[in-house]
């Protein structure tokens, strides 16, 4: 089963790391990506630029609006993602828990849907 893992981080914490602390965390992260590739779990991953570069787009009543910044004001913002293949949610959680920045923030683990549902977007019903 495929899972997307969204890495939420507090930019202030990561920006506050010394050069040697950042180098160590970066190296640890790159090594973990390589280990996931070797184990066959890694499908894709990418970091995102700072949330300060984000633009939130909405279409309401036929009008497009673009607002600087993220939708919500929070300490932790989406810093990147990694997509993995795992037997089940338990294995996906174990893999996500070893992602280095999980020590500084959180990792949201969500299964990927095979297709866009026909009955409703999330299957919750009306």
pLDDT tens string, the chain, 126 residues long: the values are: 999 999 999 988 999 999 999 999 999 999 999 999 999 999 999 999 988 888 888 899 999 988 887 666 677 888 999 999 999 999 999 999 999 999 989 999 999 988 887 777 777 755
User: Distance between CA atoms of 51 and 88, rounded to whole angstroms?
Assistant: 31
CB neighbours of residue 92 within 10 Å: 23
Contact between 3 and 99 (Cβ < 8 Å)? no
Radius of gyration of the chain (CA): 17
Token duo for residue 51? 């949330």
Q: Is 28 helix (H, G, I), strand (E, B) or coil?
A: helix
Instruction: Look up the pTM and report it.
Output: 0.84
Pick the CATH number of 2-111 from 3.40.190.10, 3.40.50.12500, 1.10.340.30, 3.30.70.1060: 3.30.70.1060
Beta strands in the chain (DSSP E): 2-10, 42-47, 55-60, 63-68, 76-85, 106-111
Nearest to 3 by CA among 114, 110, 113, 115: 110
């Amino acid at each position: 089963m495929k899972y997307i893992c969204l890495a939420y981080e507090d930019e202030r914490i990561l920006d506050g790391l010394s050069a040697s602390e950042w180098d160590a965390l970066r190296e640890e992260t790159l090594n973990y990506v390589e280990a996931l590739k070797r184990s066959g779990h890694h499908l894709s991953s990418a970091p995102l630029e700072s949330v300060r570069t984000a633009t939130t787009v909405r279409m309401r009543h036929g009008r497009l609006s673009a607002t600087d910044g993220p939708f919500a004001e929070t300490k932790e913002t989406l810093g990147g993602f990694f997509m993995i293949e795992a037997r089940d949610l338990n294995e996906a959680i174990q893999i996500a828990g070893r992602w280095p920045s999980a020590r500084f923030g959180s990792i949201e683990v969500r299964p990927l849907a095979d297709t866009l549902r026909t009955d409703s977007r999330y299957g919750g019903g009306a």
